[in-house]
Amino acid sequence: MCEGKFNIVQREINRMDIDILGISEMKWIDSGHFRSANNTVMYSGHNTLRKNGVGMIIAKRVSKSLIGYKAVNDRIIYIRVRAYVVNITFVQVYAPTTSAEAADIEDFYSDLQAALKETPKKDVLIIMGDWNAKIGKGEEPGTAGRHGLGNRNEAGERLLEFCKENTLFLTNTYFELPERRLYTWTSPDDQYKTQIDYILGRRRRRSAFQSVKTRPDADCGSDHELLTATIRRKLKKIQVKKMLKLDTDNIPEEYKTKLTTNWP
């Protein structure tokens, strides 16, 4: 995500009135946070290489409820926001592709499981991102609904196993919608459309999800469609002096220099 594309994404966030946006494969180095165009940006990348990377952009109205965030590694980041009754934890992930080594895939799920252990069990939990997995049309009661696309693959089986172990469900397989609102990825030659991005939630919080669908009208220059969820929760402002010290209104000048000189 170069600077120009980042600006386009921010414009779309504002146009589409999105509160929290999770991003996979940012390819930014290191981790950190800053404020840009009234949004708060948090990112977690590789220490030295422009590979993988995840991040979150939250609107100003949500930042007032932000408790904190943790950059786990270049595939996992999470934030907590204060809400009425119970708080909400949002986790953004970028899972290894199906061509990755089995050890890398298991490391990813092990790291994700460790992150979940740090999350209070009473929190509303939302895990979103590019899972590089196909769940397919087969229904799994309590875990996967009837509205998946295509055929299940090995990565899909591993994702289902993770969901069952943690009593999670794949929200975007539970809403009956036109196929164009279900598929999340299109092949470069435009021949194949499939569903590999998912938003997960705890089963007992299923009623909080009012709708989950893709937004083909989002202009973000990606082969993935924007996957959105509408969640019924009321946030609560944090009554503290300052939670994060954000002393810039834009991308740090140092990072701009890195982007200009090192971006391929």
Q: What is the predicted pLDDT for the residue at 256?
A: 52
Is there a domain that residue 43 lies in? no
| pLDDT above 70 (res 243) | no
Helices first, then strands: H and E counts in the chain: 5, 14
What's this model's pTM, rounded to 2 decimal places? 0.87
The average confidence (pLDDT) of the chain is 89
| pLDDT above 70 (res 263) | no
Over residues 197-213, the mean pLDDT reads: 93
Is there a domain that residue 243 lies in? yes
Over residues 209-218, the mean pLDDT reads: 92
Is there a domain that residue 209 lies in? yes
- Length, in residues, of the chain: 264
- At 244, the pLDDT band (50, 70, 90 cuts) reads low
pLDDT tens-digit readout, 52-104: 999 999 999 999 999 999 999 999 999 999 998 899 999 999 999 999 999 99
Is there a domain that residue 45 lies in? no
Q: Which tokens go with 167?
A: 């009593």
Is there a domain that residue 46 lies in? no
**185/54 Cα distance (integer angstroms):** 18
8 Å CB contact between 180 and 159? no
User: How far apart, in Å, are the Cα atoms of 187 and each of 112, 169, 236?
Assistant: 27, 26, 41
Is there a domain that residue 57 lies in? no
Q: What is the predicted pLDDT for the residue at 225?
A: 93
**Percent of the chain beyond pLDDT 90?**
69
Q: What is the extent of the structural domain holding 102? A: 62-255
Facing residues of 169 across strands?
Answer: 201
CA quadruple 43, 45, 49, 52: dihedral positive or negative?
Answer: negative
Is there a domain that residue 186 lies in? yes
What is the CB-side half-sphere exposure of residue 226 using CA atoms within 13 A? 17
Q: Which residue has the higher pLDDT, 2 or 193?
A: 193
pLDDT tens-digit readout, 119-161: 999 999 999 999 999 999 989 999 999 999 999 999 999 999 9
8 Å CB contact between 24 and 54? yes
Q: What is the predicted pLDDT for the residue at 190?
A: 83
E strands, the chain, are 20-24, 31-36, 39-44, 54-58, 66-73, 76-81, 88-94, 124-130, 168-170, 185-186, 193-194, 197-202, 209-215, 226-231
Split into its structural domains, the chain has a count of 1
| pLDDT above 90 (res 246) | no
pLDDT tens-digit readout, 18-27: 999 999 999 9
Is there a domain that residue 154 lies in? yes
pLDDT tens-digit readout, 172-197: 999 999 888 999 999 888 888 999 99
Over residues 45-58, the mean pLDDT reads: 94
**130/105 Cα distance (integer angstroms):** 13
CATH number for position 175: 3.60.10.10
**Percent of the chain beyond pLDDT 70?**
90
